[in-house]
Structure 1
Amino acid sequence: MRKRILLLEDEQAIADTLLYALQSEGFEVRHVGLAREALSAFEQAPPDLAILDVGVPDGNGFDVCRAIRKTSELPIVFLTARHEEIDRVLGLELGADDYVVKPFSPREVCARVRAILRRSAGGGAPAAVPAPTPVAPGLLTLDEKAQRIACEGELLALTRYEFLLLATLLRRPQRIFSRTELMDLVWGGAPHTSDRTVDAHIKLLRAKLRERGLVAEVIQTHRHMGYSLRLP
């Protein structure tokens, strides 16, 4: 079955280029030019991935992403003409899987879409282990095969990159990972992502762990060095 892509892009020339490239790769693409049309299309027939332009006439892709994230972990890629790093960090904090700055190569966008869909299907996950591994007894449990992490027996609601980041730290507790190492291990397929992305995702993970009652910082910051997982 062909994967369905929702494309929100108000510039017709750019949309036509992406439509041709994605359809040539075998994807089924629904193109809309307004934020409200994107949300309507998502509700009518949820796609396998959404490509959202940040700036559209009736709003922006960030608002569409926020609305989608209320009910879905749908893979999302942002398109934007903006070069400010704060916009990329905001997009990633909202749960986007990737961020492409215009002008871009349609082939690059297709490659990123394929990579994200492979990861979402489990193709980009680390090798599975026979059973869930309790990393910190009574605290965090990593299930490689199911790509899930539980906190005191309750599954954490993590985005794809949040899972990959926390799983990387969990596999080597107390080891300090530099930002560069984490970028290579977690965001290897997103070369235009900056190391600020690591900090943004660490912040989000800490917030989710605090929501589960973990007052002490499980993820430790080592100044000028990186991050590590602290065991009890």
Structure 2
Amino acid sequence: MNGTKVLVADDDVNVIEIIRLYFSQHHIELIEAHDGSEAVRLAETEKPDAIILDVMMPVMDGYEACREIRKTMDTPIIMLSAKGEEFDRVLGLELGADDYVTKPFSPRELVARIKAIFRRMQPRVSEEKEAVVQEIRFSDLVIDLQGRQVIVAGEKVAFRPKEFDLLVFLARSSGSVFTREQLLEQIWGYDFFGDIRTVDVHIKKIRQHLAALPYECIHTVWGVGYKFEVEACSV
């Protein structure tokens, strides 16, 4: 991971020093922040490869910092907190975090999660070879595979990387039902450490992005999972 820069925001200097020592062994440069406001500023100026945000920080907490960073950046974000309740994990994911680590934690696990996120960000070889299909079209919905853009009712809508990948996977298998576990495996990979509710959070975001359509695309199959289906569609 030579040359990798990771922004770590935590008001506990002991936590930062422990992370710094372990990062140095893996040739990761640590950018240090002690509150959420400083984290937002450094994220913009330093352009780190990944960001770790403690939830409980002065001036601006980790949730608010995550929300602010997501307004302009898609940099991977890991939330770090002593809170382990499902509500807290889901809130972090809904605000745009990619993973959630509960204190006390192992620095080794933290590095493993960062590496896993980077692996998931790499373009899939199979996708790179799929040059035959340039776009998927469903009436008022157009998915540009090459440009990774989505046009909804004539308007371009911004999708985050995993939201786009999930939409494409479901759209390519229109009519097929997938469990949350299957979607995690296909989109996030076997080594994903996060909560299974990650799928629900991303489905919710996709539905919000597609709200302008006169029909529903993403359907919940109760007790099973999700499917993509549009009547009278063409691909």
TM-score of the superposition, structure 1-length normalised? 0.87
Match of 1:127 in 2: 127
**3-state secondary structure, aligned to 2:53:** strand
Distance in structure 1 (CA, Å) of the matches to 2:198 and 2:152: 23
Superposition map of 1:157-172 within 5 A? 157-172=158-173
Alignment coverage as a number of residue pairs: 228
Superposed displacement of residue 217, structure 1: 1.4
Structure 2, unaligned runs of 5 or more: none
Paired with 1:83 and 1:150, the residues of 2 have a C-alpha distance of: 38
**Contact map agreement 1:2 1:26 (CA 8 A) in 2:** yes
Q: Residue 127 of structure 1 aligns to which amino acid in structure 2?
A: E
Q: Which residue of 1 aligns with 2:221?
A: 222
**What are the within-5 Å matches in structure 2 for residues 1-232 of structure 1?**
2-120=3-121, 122-123=122-123, 127-128=127-128, 129-130=130-131, 131-143=133-145, 146-151=147-152, 154-188=155-189, 191-210=192-211, 213-232=212-231
Give RMSD over aligned pairs.
2.3
Q: Letter of the aligned partner of 1:230 in structure 2? A: E
Shift of 1:192: 4.0
Please give the alpha-carbon distance, in whole angstroms, between the structure 2 residues aligned to 1:162 and 1:125: 19
Whole-Å separation in 2 of the counterparts to 1:189 and 1:13: 32
Return the alpha-carbon distance in structure 1 between the equivalents of residues 5 and 14 of structure 2.
21
Specify whether residues 43 and 191 from structure 1 end up closer, same or farther in structure 2 by C-alpha distance, changes over 3 A only.
closer
- CA–CA distance in structure 1, aligned partners of residues 123 and 195 of structure 2: 24
Letter paired with 1:165: L
3-state SS of paired residue (2:219): strand
Contact 1:97 1:161 (C-alpha < 8 Å) held by counterparts: no
Q: Taking structure 1 as reference, are residues 14 and 123 closer, same or farther at Cα in structure 2, changes over 3 Å only? A: farther
In 2: Cα distance, 1:63 partner to 1:125 partner: 36
CA contact (8 A) 1:21 1:107 kept: yes
C-alpha distance in 2 between matches for 1:112 and 1:148: 28
TM-score by length of 2: 0.86
Q: How much identity, in percent, do the aligned residues show?
A: 36
Shift of 1:152: 5.3
